Amino acid sequence: MSKNQWAFSIFELLVGMSITATLLLITFASLHNFIAKNNTLRQINKIVAVMQLAKMEAIRRGEPITFCKSSDQKKCGGNWCDGQIVTAKDGTIIRNLEALPPGDKLTWKSSFSKNDALVFLPSGATNGQQGSFFYCTVNAPNENLAIIIEHDGRIRISNKTATGKKIVCD
């Protein structure tokens, strides 16, 4: 070989390719977790925005507004993961949300075991209800979140239950 020529041995090429493959694998795994967490937050934020809308409509209209589960997006009933609707006192649908991604779950555990709907009063408070919506996702099982509703109508998101425990989905 002349002074200006150089080359890699097979061993050096294999080591370089192994390091590159390992770094790509780590990057891909991190990116997958980031996307799954981001999708969960997007779904949670949609639900919270619709709850806030229900609360504001109750105040604006001066009448109770219901946020409930709906399998057909026309009337209350079904499972929370099938979709949700916001309805006025006369049954008019104000807003609806489509079903959650396949495998994701949404459950509502409230005081007084009123787990079919959440009602906001004209004051912005709930109808004596408080509790949590638990959002559980199959794509990021460590990223389960709770939407906590206070009786005064305050809505907040947490990665822990109202009692401070980690969210465990069944």
pLDDT category of residue 4 using cuts at 50, 70 and 90 = low
Does CATH place domain 10-158 in 3.30.420.40?
A: no
Higher-scoring residue by pLDDT: 34, 68: 68
Higher-scoring residue by pLDDT: 31, 59: 59
Q: In whole angstroms, give the CA distance from residue 44 to residue 104.
A: 11
Task: Check residue 18 and give its pLDDT.
Answer: 92
The number of residues making up the chain comes to 170
- Is residue 113 exposed (0-12), middle (13-18) or buried (19+ Cβ within 10 Å)? exposed
Q: Are 143 and 110 in contact (CB under 8 A)?
A: no
Task: Check residue 69 and give its pLDDT.
Answer: 94
Which of 25-34, 71-80, 153-162 bottoms out in mean pLDDT, i.e. has the lowest?
Answer: 25-34
Tell me: the pLDDT tens digits for 108-154? 988 877 778 999 999 999 988 898 899 988 877 677 888 999 989 99
pTM: 0.80
Higher-scoring residue by pLDDT: 142, 40: 40
Task: Check residue 5 and give its pLDDT.
Answer: 65
Residues with Cβ within 8 Å of 139's Cβ and at least 6 positions away in sequence, in order, are 36, 39, 40, 101, 103, 104
Is pLDDT of 55 > 60?
yes
List the chain domain ranges.
10-158
Phi first, then psi: what are they for 142, rounded to 5°? -90, 0
Distance of CA 72 to the CA centre of its chain: 20
Tokens 């709906």 correspond to what residue?
Answer: 70
Higher-scoring residue by pLDDT: 24, 169: 24
Above pLDDT 70, what percent of the chain?
Answer: 94
Task: Please give the C-alpha separations between residue 27 and each of 9, 13, 23, 42, 50, in angstroms, as whole numbers.
Answer: 27, 21, 6, 22, 35
Task: Check residue 150 and give its pLDDT.
Answer: 92
pLDDT category of residue 24 using cuts at 50, 70 and 90 = confident
